[in-house]
Structure 1
Amino acid sequence: MGEPTEIQRGDAARADAAHDGGSEAARASTARQPEGATRAAQSRTAALRNRVRDQRRSPARPRIWFELALIGISYWLYSIVRNAVPEQEAVAQRNARWIWDLEHHLGIAVEHSINHAVDSVGWLITGMNYYYATLHFIITIGVLVWLYRSHPGRYVAARTVLFVTTGIALVGFYFFPLAPPRLMTGGGFIDTVQAHHTWGSFASGPAAHVSNLYAAMPSMHIGWSMWCGLAIFFLARRTWVRVLGLMYPLATLTVIISTANHFWMDAVGGEICLTVGFLTARWLYHEWVYKLPQVPARETTDRPVTVPEQWSEPTVSSARR
């Protein structure tokens, strides 16, 4: 009687199998939980990566209050850093003489002749003094506003170019102080602002006490004007406006040379900074600034679809008629 019968042994085997199967199912369920959590984490990471990629390829237009605050704070910091750099007059004069000698060696030292020739035409040089003092800011701000309103998909990348260009310029101001031609000892240049009693430079008159007189390399008048000119040329629709865009940096170059505020080489330095700015934006957004979508993808997909009013009226079935 004490020995198990065949039926009892079968029941015990089935019970053990059921117990083992349950344990395996529990272990499988436990094993699947971290794997599922890992897949969920990976999917979230992939979604975030895709979102960042889409944002880089089609940057959204920032809020206007954020942009105004950013530009205001950035220019405030730029002014503080630029004017806080030690002027180092002796070093600035030595660098100016080195630049002047280099231009003579290259055969492009024509700033002195242009400065004296234009200065002899009173109304022309006076207009250039006011041009130098005002359009540098007015045109740049105007182009920023235009890009924000009409080309929101390209605005952030274009603004990045401008910020990077200006940031590199600050490095140049610090490590390469340079006396402009009108302040170079023994250069024989005419300071057209003082000669014609016009306000046209933050480095002349009362403003000279709070401005760095030797922040001339690179020339941001050229860097900013070329940034504006390229934006207008590539994005404007009317041909005459595009032509004006190209003429603007050329006119600025003529002004900075005629007023003896910069050497030719300062303009070259400004163009180098701008080139680095465009390359940086190309790396960040995976596309050249002016080839980005005019309108961000988010604004085109979120825009509500409008239909004629009669389409939204409820239809009456023929059976009820």
Structure 2
Amino acid sequence: MGETNVSTREGRTAAGTSPLEAEGTRPAGSFVRRLRTPRRPRIWYELALIAVSYWLYSLVRNAVPEQRAAAMQNADWIWQAEQAIGLAFERGVNQAVNSVTWLVVGMNYYYATLHFIVTIAVLVWLYRRHPGRYAAMRTVLFVTTGLALVGFYFFPLAPPRLLEGGGFVDTVLVHQTWGSMASGDLKHMTNQYAAMPSMHIGWSLWCGLALFTLARVPWVRVLAVLYPLVTLVVIIATANHFWLDAIGGLLCLAAALAVTHLWYGRAPHRMGAVRGRPEGARGTARATTADPQRIGQAAAAESARPAFEDEPAGR
């Protein structure tokens, strides 16, 4: 009886835990593995994280020196480069849309509101419907935004509506609508020369990616494709961005996806489900306790078990 107890303890130590874990000290690798393993997010932690992150984003974005001369010079350079390659179509779109009052007013409100509303709605949807994928998708959004701050600092850029002699129309001022914080009475509350990259495009592409890869309802997936496309038209029609700013937003998202893939070891939408310990695993644990000879086999099987399993999209 005593021999059985001794071999059981020795088997558990050898197969199940390291000596450090047996003494109550977790190795650094287990902490990192826990961070990379899907688990149910905590609502208050996530709300606090989002609030603090957005506050820091706004603080850093607005603290970047506006550098008007450099911003105007960069805008003029981009405009000339687009003309040189024959893709300087922003002014034509801006003036055409400006001639249709109801359309341009709707675009002004679209630009001012949906950027935040849709992004928050998708975050809530991920939190409720895909908790195992929420942390990875949220990380993509945060890294995308962080990379944008780097662009704001090193490449100040004036939007087309501020380009002197460019012939662009500031649709918010002309139609006296509440819109971009960089126009009208709110222009002193934000950095007007942080147009590259476009986070309207970066965030809308993130929303579209999340919905298209995880939603199962066809019309939702259609909206997921249309949303960033319509956003692209809006930012150009309202003269808030060059189309090259949209390319910058796309590149930020692509880099964020790559970083997140390296950290988690797979694409965010392929992260696993949040599940409790399977019944089979508990049964195996009881069986190995009763039968010391199976300890090694059970430990090997447990180590071969993936850290998480894929959850069918939409569930």
Question: TM bucket by the smaller chain?
Answer: 0.7 to 0.9
Among candidates 259, 263, 277, match of residue 301 of structure 1: 277
In the alignment, which residue of structure 1 is the partner of 2:32?
52
Q: Distance in 1 between matches of 2:252 and 2:34?
A: 28
- 1:220 and 2:199 matched: yes
Q: Post-superposition shift, 1:46?
A: 8.0
- 1:130 and 2:109 matched: yes
Question: TM (normalized to structure 2)?
Answer: 0.80
Equivalent residue runs for 1:2-21 within 5 Å? none
Q: Post-superposition shift, 1:47?
A: 6.6
- 1:142 and 2:121 matched: yes
Specify whether residues 39 and 217 from structure 1 end up closer, same or farther in structure 2 by C-alpha distance, changes over 3 A only: closer
The Cα offsets for residues 96-121 of structure 1, whole Å up to 9 and x where unpaired, read as 01111111122211000000001111
Q: Distance in 2 between matches of 1:85 and 1:52?
A: 34
In the alignment, which residue of structure 1 is the partner of 2:304?
none
Q: Secondary structure at the match of 1:300?
A: coil
Equivalent residue runs for 1:172-187 within 5 Å? 172-187=151-166
Q: Secondary structure at the match of 1:186?
A: coil
In the alignment, which residue of structure 1 is the partner of 2:80?
101
Amino acid paired to 1:224: W
Q: Distance in 2 between matches of 1:119 and 1:210?
A: 25
Specify whether residues 39 and 288 from structure 1 end up closer, same or farther in structure 2 by C-alpha distance, changes over 3 A only: closer
Amino acid paired to 1:106: I
In the alignment, which residue of structure 1 is the partner of 2:211?
232
- 1:154 and 2:130 matched: no
Q: Distance in 2 between matches of 1:164 and 1:119?
A: 35
In the alignment, which residue of structure 1 is the partner of 2:189?
210
The Cα offsets for residues 11-66 of structure 1, whole Å up to 9 and x where unpaired, read as xxxxxxxxxxxxxxxxxxxxxxxxx9x9612777787635633541x321221001
Amino acid paired to 1:64: I
- How many residues matched? 263
Q: Distance in 1 between matches of 2:96 and 2:28?
A: 61
Q: Distance in 2 between matches of 1:109 and 1:100?
A: 7
Specify whether residues 82 and 242 from structure 1 end up closer, same or farther in structure 2 by C-alpha distance, changes over 3 A only: same
Q: Post-superposition shift, 1:148?
A: 0.5
Mind listing any 5+ residue stretches in structure 2 that lack a counterpart? 1-13, 280-315
Amino acid paired to 2:140: V
In the alignment, which residue of structure 2 is the partner of 1:280?
259
- Contact kept in structure 1, 2:261 and 2:268, CA below 8 Å: yes
Amino acid paired to 1:259: T
Q: Distance in 2 between matches of 1:243 and 1:300?
A: 34
Mind listing any 5+ residue stretches in structure 1 that lack a counterpart? 1-35, 304-321
In the alignment, which residue of structure 1 is the partner of 2:313?
none
In the alignment, which residue of structure 2 is the partner of 1:250?
229
Q: Secondary structure at the match of 1:301?
A: coil
Question: TM (normalized to structure 1)?
Answer: 0.78
Q: Secondary structure at the match of 1:76?
A: helix
In the alignment, which residue of structure 2 is the partner of 1:31?
none
Amino acid paired to 2:118: I
Q: Distance in 1 between matches of 2:27 and 2:72?
A: 56
Percent identical pairs in the alignment equals: 62
Q: Distance in 1 between matches of 2:278 and 2:51?
A: 30
- 1:112 and 2:88 matched: no
C-alpha RMSD of the superposition: 2.0
The Cα offsets for residues 213-251 of structure 1, whole Å up to 9 and x where unpaired, read as 101000000000000001111111111110101100000
- Contact kept in structure 1, 2:20 and 2:27, CA below 8 Å: no
Q: Distance in 1 between matches of 2:49 and 2:26?
A: 31
Amino acid paired to 1:49: G
Among candidates 60, 68, 80, match of residue 81 of structure 1: 60
